[in-house]
Amino acid sequence: MSDLYELTTDVIDIASVARRVVPPECGATVTLDGYARRFTKDKATGEVRETEYLVYEAYEPMALKEMAKIIERAKAEFEVSAIGIAHRLGRLEIGETSVVISVAAPHRKAAFTACEWLIRELKRTVPIFKKEVYADGEAWSEGEMP
């Protein structure tokens, strides 16, 4: 059972990611499915904006390296058996999946903990960039510094 990590401009099938990381000693897979949200509240002003679509771009070779690193760190730190990460690039319509992280583990507790850790690290370290396009403009999303 190997891990997987990929960047793709195709629509992501969350079941295929979740189901490609099912080792026979495991009983549970926890999957985070992040997707393009129609309404976003501005953290500073509290104003709610309606997003028309998203565009994701990546520094692809580095993003793949950083994805491999967080997988390696998660497997060292948590009792998990297999990890799959897929991140969408290009234009995403509202409701389409931007990221899927699936973690299979013998015990579900470790799968939950590792999956939550992985999305936090991905948002902190993997060089992928989100642009939100509104009816009246567009803005790069402000992320967290690593």
Partner 1 sequence: MVFADFAMILRVLFFGAAADSAGTREAQVEVAEGLTAGELVESLKAKHPGLAGQKLLIAVDQEYVAASTPLEPGCEIAIFTAVSGG
| Residues 43-63 as b or e (16 or more Cβ within 10 Å = b) | eeeeeebebeebebebeeeeb
- Residue 128 binds partner 1 (CB under 8 A): yes
Closest CA to 91 of 141, 50, 131, 40: 131
Name the one range near a second copy by CB under 8 A: 36-44, 57-65, 66-74, 125-133: 36-44
> Of 41-49, 61-69, 73-81, 109-117, which segment contacts partner 1 by CB under 8 A?
61-69
Query: Which residues between 10 and 49 bind partner 1 (CB under 8 A)?
Result: 34
Q: Give the residue, chosen from 14, 58, 74, 115, that forms a contact with partner 1 under the rule CB under 8 A.
A: 58
Nearest approach, Cβ of residue 61 and a second copy (Å)? 27
Q: Please say which residue, 24 or 46, places its beta carbon nearer to a second copy.
A: 24
Residue 92 phi/psi, 5° resolution?
A: -120, 130
Contact indicator for 94, 135 with CB cutoff of 8 Å: no
Among a second copy, partner 1, none, what binds residue 95 when CB lies within 5 to 8 Å by partner kind?
a second copy
Q: How far is CA 45 from CA 40, 49, 137, in A?
A: 11, 11, 17
According to CB under 8 A, which residues from 73 to 102 bind a second copy?
Answer: 94-95
78 binds partner 1 per the rule CB under 8 A: no
- Asked if residue 20 binds a second copy (CB under 8 A), the reply is no
From CA 60, how far away is CA 9, in angstroms rounded? 12
